[in-house]
Amino acid sequence: MAVAKQKMLALNGDEAVAYAVKQSDVDVVAAYPITPQTIIVERFSEYVADGEVDTEFVCVESEHSALTACLTAAATGARAFTATASAGLALMHEILYVTSGCRAPVVMAIVNRALSAPLNIHCDHSDSMVERDCSWIQIYVENSQEAYDSIIQAFKIAENQELLLPVMVGLDGFTLSHTLENVQTLPDDLVKKFVGTRKFPLVTSHEGKNVPFKLDPKKPMTIGPIDLYDYYFEHKRQQEEAMQIAPKIIQQVHKEYAKISGRRYGNGLIEPYHLEDAEMAIVCVGSTSGTVKTVVNELRSKGTKVGLLRLRTFRPLPVKEITKALENVKAVAVMDRSLSFGGHGGAVFHEIRHVLYDASKHPYVVNYIYGLGGRDTSPNLIQKIYRDLQRILETQQIEKPVQFIGLRE
């Protein structure tokens, strides 16, 4: 299939998400406003008010109810979407597990924002990193274009009949959500065709019949029963087995999407940037990778062998791909925009160092905690990180495995 003719629109990240949802033939949107996610809900409300979407918009009284309504709508057979940030995601915490446990393929945009206290509305990844264990697929995007593309892909990933896992797409608050960007958009009918309509796998009901996995009065099924020590464990393993096949499905959807859009983000799981011969690399997620790429270009022009590994998919963790991408690098700096208090570094650092333990070669791996509460991360800071890596290679010594960067000393 040839790449479609696309329309360039000036959209901020939130608008790009709302536009993607508008095109994806979503049946139910249940959402509650929170900065910096509000624009998504506002734009979508406008689409509803102007009759531009065939969607039931449920303007709920809390994020807890937003996700609950999406969960039960999805269980009833609908395509469901919600969006939140920070405290809203924290309020959903309980239902995040229930959604994945009920295998409800809900798609959610997370406009990443710091958690209170102190109250802060700006970007960091504390809100979604703390939810990394809840059996949702997590994709973090670099720019608004990718936010648009990833939301469309997310429906197709989540609803895959083998998978049936919810997907959250993280975009950096304000940096992406409130910043205008040129976004290439696909024609409506093409997106609609790409996402298709929901299909339901047949499962064995309590009556021993093969029935479609949804709440259907003609084919009754009990969803969400109490499930104790005699079965719960197997059900949790099933979720993990689904997670294990997710990389294949994410890559497949990413590839199909590339065919119609011409856009690729690495292989859909990771995006290596000048890593082939790199001696030093930064690993990060989200919009900061844009800044890192600029610095890599500068340093490369001066002959320094530096590179970047952007993790696009953080859950499931692309273990093989990370190992392959980093095992020949000599020094790695992992940048974390969240902190696991008392836990020796941030979430991404934990994963990267952990994965490299089993690699054939062991690069030096250090951690930088940066940008909490929206603190700006300038190219100077990125240059400093590469200089630090250079020193580690020269001295063959790590002075500080975990440190903060870009704050008052």
Partner 1 sequence: MFSEWKFAAKDIAEKPDLFTSGHRACAGCASATVLRLIMKATMGPTIVTTATGCMEVASTIYPYTSWKIPWIHTAFENAAANASGIEAALKILKKKGRIPQEQVDVIAFAGDGGTYDIGIQALSGAVERGHDFLYVLYDNEAYMNTGIQRSGGTPLGASTTTSPAGTVMPGKLEPKKPITEIIVAHNIPYAATASPYYWRDLIAKARKGIEVNGPAFLHVFAPCPRGWRSDISKSIELSCLAVETCVFPLWEAINGEYQLSAPSKAIALKPERKKPVREYLQMQGRFRHLFTPKFEKVIDEIQRITDERWQRLLKKCSMALN
Q: Looking at 27, 131, 142, 149, which residue binds partner 1 (CB under 8 A)?
A: 27
Q: Which is nearer to partner 1, 116 or 204 (CB)?
A: 204
- Between strands 80-84 and 28-31, the pairing is parallel
Q: Which is nearer to partner 1, 219 or 263 (CB)?
A: 219
> Would you count residue 398 as binding partner 1 (CB under 8 A)?
no
Q: Which is nearer to partner 1, 211 or 348 (CB)?
A: 211
Q: Could you give phi then psi for residue 35, rounded to 5 degrees?
A: -65, 135
- With residue 45 as reference, give the H or E element that holds it: helix 38-49
Q: Which is nearer to partner 1, 198 or 375 (CB)?
A: 198
Q: HSE (CB half, 13 Å, CA atoms) of 197?
A: 1
The span from the CA of 5 to the CA of 38, in Å, is 30
Q: Which is nearer to partner 1, 68 or 251 (CB)?
A: 68
Q: At 137, is the secondary structure helix, strand, or coil? A: strand
Least gap, CB of 114 to partner 1 (angstroms): 25
> Would you count residue 28 as binding partner 1 (CB under 8 A)?
yes
Q: Which residues contact 34 (CB under 8 A, 6 or more apart)?
A: 63, 84, 85, 86, 87, 88, 113
Q: Looking at 8, 51, 117, 222, which residue binds partner 1 (CB under 8 A)?
A: 222
Q: HSE (CB half, 13 Å, CA atoms) of 346?
A: 27
- With residue 213 as reference, give the H or E element that holds it: none
Least gap, CB of 61 to partner 1 (angstroms): 3
Q: At 71, is the secondary structure helix, strand, or coil? A: helix
For 122: left if phi > 0, alpha if psi spans -120 to 50, otherwise beta; the answer is beta
Q: Which residues contact 227 (CB under 8 A, 6 or more apart)?
A: 235
> Would you count residue 63 as binding partner 1 (CB under 8 A)?
no
Q: Which region, judged by CB under 8 A, interacts with partner 1, from 93-101, 127-135, 243-251, 265-273?
A: 93-101
Tell which positions 43-62 bind partner 1, by CB under 8 A: 54-56, 58-62
Site string for partner 1, 72-91 (x = CB under 8 A): xxxxxxx-x-----------
> Would you count residue 224 as binding partner 1 (CB under 8 A)?
yes
> Would you count residue 64 as binding partner 1 (CB under 8 A)?
yes
Tell which positions 174-213 bind partner 1, by CB under 8 A: 197, 206
Least gap, CB of 238 to partner 1 (angstroms): 12
Task: Give per-residue burial for 182-211: e unless 16+ CB within 10 Å, then b.
Answer: ebebbeeebbeebbeebeeeeeebeeeeeb
Q: Looking at 34, 40, 71, 111, which residue binds partner 1 (CB under 8 A)?
A: 71
Residues that bind partner 1 (CB under 8 A): 27-28, 30, 54-56, 58-62, 64-65, 68-78, 80, 94-95, 98, 102, 197, 206, 215-228, 231, 235
